[in-house]
Amino acid sequence: MTPPTSRSPVKVLIADDSAFMRIALSRMVQSDDSLCVVGTAQTGPETLTQIDRLQPDVVTLDINMPGLSGLEILKRVMHDSPRPVIVISSMAQEGAEATLEALELGAFDCLAKRLSCSSLDIVKVQDELVGKIKAAARSCRDARRRSRPTIRPPSPAVSSVSLSAPSVVAMGTSTGGPKALQEVLPYLPADLPVGILIVQHMPIGFTGPFAQRLNNLCHVHVHEAEDGMVLTRGHVYLAPAGQHLTVRRRTPAEVVLQVSSNPNNVVHIPSVDVMLLSVAEVFRSNAMGIIMTGMGGDGALGMQAIFREGGLTVGQDEATCAVYGMPRTCAEMGVLKRVVPLSDIPQQILAALGYRKPC
């Protein structure tokens, strides 16, 4: 596939078995002059034919397609003619699990179906869809520029500073995050001496199954965070979609999780910034913040707060990000003490903790 140029419209194929959804999604895509719907498909076999004939830059794909499932379509696309695919899924339990499998197979991102004939959350869904398509197309263009030096903040001023061992690790990620987290968390040991907090931007209904999937892959225990849980070493807490995750110190030795819909005037709920700002306030220089792949700038203010408190801040590098947006913002602000490839993040965590494998 030839990546779209910066001047040509991004060619999009809409694949969905519902005529209503095909029309609704097409109108949303066409609302942006930089995007162009080149075709639609109603069945699985038709989707593969249209991809081969039209060579779209980005495909939106319904999980439940007649004739050939969305997962089978995705497998064939990734094998025969790889390109960014954004999965459109129902928010039911089975839809969430299928979507997580799609992300493992190589889907670029997912979007939950929140449209019906009686209720159209047009503005929010349209903005999200357009943003994801643009990010997907941009990832193709960025792939051609991987050889450029990654933006790295100046580090001499911090390299000589002896950092204290973190008492918590807080991670923020978005587009490309589910796959990235599955390449980081399984490398952490069951006796990890701290707890880990994670905000991953996902649709409502997806974080529970995702936490369970991670738990099955990891030595550490992974949970969807609940209000009042005690932050415990060797445990990972994933913010539930639609609610913020913060922490508060209940006693000198005990920190508990808070799950709430407030503040509600932010773009992302859960918000990486809200979580990291809370971590910086409670743990100060004993916090470790990690910002990973994702579009936009959520997390920059929180990483800045941890940086200012003297905590350790780590960013994923451009070459290994699905979308170099959130880490780029932090790098350009100069609040990252280290910039590393995705594969180095587990070792960064263990080294910061001074972890030594028991004999």
Q: Which of 57, 109, 142, 298 is catalytic?
A: 298
Catalytic, 219? Answer: no
Q: What are phi and psi of 206, to 5 degrees?
A: -100, -25
Active site residue 57: no
Question: Measured between alpha carbons, how far is 269 from 297 in angstroms, rounded to an integer?
Answer: 14
Q: Shortest CA distance to 35 belongs to which of 117, 123, 134?
A: 134
Residues in the chain: 359
Q: Choose the catalytic residue: 89, 174, 271, 278.
A: 174
Helix (H) or strand (E) holding 170: strand 168-173
Which H/E stretch holds residue 88? strand 85-89
Is residue 223 classed as helix, strand or coil in its secondary structure?
strand
Residue-by-residue DSSP string for 307-346 = HHHT-EEEEE-GGG-SSBSHHHHHHHHT--SEEE-GGGHH
Q: Assess whether 62 carries a catalytic annotation.
A: no
Backbone angles phi, psi at 248, to 5 degrees: -145, 150
Angle at 115 between CA 110 and CA 116, to 5 degrees: 150
H or E stretch covering 28: helix 19-30
Calculate Rg over the CA atoms of the chain: 21
Active-site residue, selected from the candidate residues 57, 62, 142, 201: 201
Non-local (6+) Cβ contacts of 268 within 8 A are 174, 201, 296, 298
Give dist(CA 198, CA 193) in Å, integer: 16
DSSP string, 255-317: EEEEEE----SSSSSS-HHHHHHHHHHHHGGGEEEEE-SBSS-TTHHHHHHHHHHT-EEEEE-
- Tokens 């503005």 locate to 123
Strands 109-112 and 85-89: parallel
Phi and psi torsions of 27, nearest 5°: -65, -40
Residues labelled as active-site residues: 174, 201, 298
